[in-house]
Amino acid sequence: MLKVLLLFLLLIAGIVLGPMMAGHQGYVLIQTDNYNIETSVTALVIILLLSLVVLFAVEWLLRRLFRTGAYTRGWFMGRKRRRAHKQTNQALLKLAEGDYQQVEKLMSRNADHAEQPVVNYLLAAEAAQQRGDEIRANQHLERAAELSDNDPIPVEITRVRLQLARNEFHAARHGIDKLLEISPRHPEVLRLAEQAYIHTGAWASLLDIIPSMEKAQVGDEEHRIALQRQAWIGMMDQARADQGSEGLKLWWKNQSRKTRHEPALQVAMAEHLIECDDHDTAQEIILDGLKRQYDERLVLLMPRLKSSEPEQLEKALRHQIRTLGDRPLLWSTLGQLRMKRGEWQEAALAFRAALKQRPDAFDYAWLADTLDRLHQPEEAATMRRDGLLLTLQNNAPQ
């Protein structure tokens, strides 16, 4: 650039000095109404060059002044950004310490100049909520919403989280429904949806999101299975509350075969029917479940039944004994059913078979009651003593 300038100056000098040295400077006349300006070509060229120099000088001066103003504004803005960055780092340290008052103060101060203003306001809102200041939390949340027009998900997730913390479960559920429309597989949305649906009893909605939870790897398989069972049992409760035993049976009938063959759900359904005093339907479910798969939880429900056909229960127990071998629970349950029918001798034999395999305080007590009915008070007293000693031994501090 400097070389070009030097060449340009040499060229101008040649144009100006050449005619002067040759004695041919030329003549220029500029005439107006009132003035006549006479000069030589050389002088005119010099005037033009001086004018250009003046213009360049004025331009340089103006550019320098504007640059200084921009630099000054940039310095002030950079100072605010540096301060916001420092305060954000300090707030994160206070967050680790659990000092939520300082977290809110540092996060919200100069938040507009932080690298991520929305994040600062959201963390300030959560810190204010931790302190119990809902008004400040809402203010920070609304400011974050103003700054996040392009990505509302973080703000809405924080809003739902705060609503759950305030036990505003139905409002949280409304927000979750909208979030699931926008981002149906977002892990945090699914976690919050789980809480909102459980607290509002939205069991059908909870079942609907479990496949998405599996795809998004939210929780392990055991947790999702437990969640699914909880949803099914919740739906049973709703059906029973709405229409009683008949509504419960109709709901069960409308479920898929896979659902009806789930042992945990069979146990829950049988318990609900027993509480509704529908013992015959409960017995059908228990027997059907045991035919397909042995489950101790189904066996434990048998003594609670007021069965009109207890022979079917005893038949099922004996079949299990032949199939699985001697098991204390099967013999004990058989003894309890015999007691309910007043078959004391057979009941005593069943309890003795159960105690032969393992000591149990309840079986000792039932056997003692049975021996009293058989007019064997001495042995009955011995059974009660053995049962008491076993109870004391089990309850003794380790």
Q: Is the pLDDT of residue 126 over 90?
A: no
51: pLDDT confidence band, cut at 50, 70 and 90? confident
C-alpha span between 148 and 125 (Å, rounded): 15
74, 108, 271, 325, 331 from 294: Cα distances, Å: 77, 61, 17, 12, 15
Q: Is the pLDDT of residue 324 over 60?
A: yes
* Beta-carbon count within 10 A of 230 CB: 15
Contact criterion met (CB below 8 Å) for 325 and 357: no
Q: What is the pLDDT of residue 40?
A: 67
Q: Is the pLDDT of residue 306 over 80?
A: yes
Q: What angle do CA 296, 319, 311 make, to 5 degrees?
A: 95
Q: Kindly state the average pLDDT of the residues 123-142.
A: 82
Q: What is the pLDDT of residue 76?
A: 47
**Residue 39: which H helix or E strand, with range?**
strand 36-39
C-alpha span between 190 and 210 (Å, rounded): 9
75: pLDDT confidence band, cut at 50, 70 and 90? very low
Share of residues in the chain with pLDDT > 70 (%):
76
Q: Kindly state the average pLDDT of the residues 331-344.
A: 93
pTM: 0.67
* Least confidently predicted of 121-125, 170-174, 361-365: 121-125
C-alpha span between 255 and 262 (Å, rounded): 11
Looking at this protein, which amino acid is placed at residue 305? L
73, 134, 252, 260, 281 from 235: Cα distances, Å: 63, 34, 10, 14, 18
171: pLDDT confidence band, cut at 50, 70 and 90? very high
Picking from 272, 232, 231, the residue whose alpha carbon sits closest to that of residue 248 is 272
* Beta-carbon count within 10 A of 241 CB: 10
Alpha helices by DSSP H, the chain: 2-22, 41-97, 100-108, 117-130, 134-147, 153-165, 169-182, 187-200, 203-215, 221-253, 257-260, 263-275, 279-292, 296-301, 310-324, 328-340, 344-357, 361-373, 377-395
Q: What is the pLDDT of residue 80?
A: 63
* Least confidently predicted of 7-16, 110-119, 188-197, 358-367: 7-16
